[in-house]
Structure 1
């Protein structure tokens, strides 16, 4: 059975069946009334299932608390922010009635420009990608990163043994998974080399195996924090 994006996120973070991690329907109704909007069905499902989990939603970039969700002066429903406040993500107010609308990003919060750029064609893809970024940058139970050029043959090995999330692939980023128990985010340079590897896993044994088998010079390993 194909997992939904919410189930994929739960697998990645090791969320137990039946854990209550979401906002209530009443809390969402109060948000809609305050802003006079309708929350898209995809975002409503996410809020109800995972909206209150601090690890998934705050480990790096941030799902905005409901009290801070707003509609910008230029008509965007702003619900997600960059970890240092350098940017935010939003949905056009005119598209909030769509089930799975596109998501836009604005990187000029402090300036005079109000340029919103298309970031994701679909909201569910944005939420999955955001959860993956947060996982490999501290949210996953086990994570590591390397900022060295990967050895020859590395990409071929990954392509042969991992599943690529092609809907999330960009020209500078490729994401691979093993059934969402392990995740790899690869940064690609202009020469088409892998110049950064970010790994997350929900299983200690699998994580240790990957540290050895991937043959990389790791700059950070989360287990080192415990020493």
Structure 2
């Protein structure tokens, strides 16, 4: 199963492609004076039109807003603008080039770029998985402190779910079960888990994960919004 199908499974996208028109992609290339790498072009044609995948938290930039920041073609913007992800101009001729990340610094009032992931395919998968755990799917929840992050539950996830190795970073790991759920574990400098983010479209899976980490430990769950909606209806 390739990464496009994995994303489609995660988001229950039954009808592929849900991409952008090729004419719009070509127009963006002409405006920028480049041709997009083959992997990026394939992604845009297949999944580029899905708002849940591409804009529900971090954002794949619309074609008309894609541009260069110095020597880097910017593809993705963190939801608060803290960082950008893109491809070095010198690497654009590759089919699946490495990607860089630029962090905004007040000192220079600009983004400072450094290597991030080994290829563009991994970046697009990271976007989909991050957004899945941060609100892009029907059922999401998070824990954001070490005290509430049960160490035995973390160990269970590490032993019973598959890590998405290509997305591994120093302070975070993504896990999945056949791309029917996404679990993002975050770690502090001491290597202790201090955050859990989950996303799925399957309510039974969601409830199982909530129970695994103990219902009372979750800072937020999708059920909180349902409770708020019910209260609003009662007030009316």
TM-score by length of 2: 0.89
Partner residue in 2 for 1:196: 195
Q: Is the 8 A contact 1:23 1:47 kept in 2?
A: yes
Q: Is the 8 A contact 1:183 1:201 kept in 2?
A: yes
RMSD of equivalent CA atoms: 1.6
Match of 2:32 among 30, 35, 42: 35
Q: Is the 8 A contact 1:13 1:141 kept in 2?
A: no
Q: Is the 8 A contact 2:100 2:115 kept in 1?
A: yes
Q: Residue deviations 1:126-177, cap 9 Å, x none?
A: 1111111111111012110012332332232112211111221112001110
Partner residue in 1 for 2:226: 226
Q: Residue deviations 1:172-211, cap 9 Å, x none?
A: 0011101010111001112221110000112112111221
- Quick check: 63-72 or 212-221, which moved more? 212-221
Partner residue in 2 for 1:64: 61
Partner residue in 1 for 2:15: 17
Q: Detail structure 1 runs of 4+ shifted over 4 Å in the superposition.
A: none
Q: How does 1:113-152 map to 2 (within 5 A)?
A: 113=110, 115-149=112-146, 150-152=149-151
Residue-pair matches, total: 223
Partner residue in 1 for 2:233: none
Query: What are the ranges of 5 or more consecutive residues in structure 2 without an aligned counterpart?
Result: 228-236
Query: What are the ranges of 5 or more consecutive residues in structure 1 without an aligned counterpart?
Result: none
Aligned equivalents of 2:213 and 2:109: distance in 1?
Answer: 45
* Structure holding more helix per residue: 2
CA distance 1:192–1:112, change in 2 (3 Å) = closer
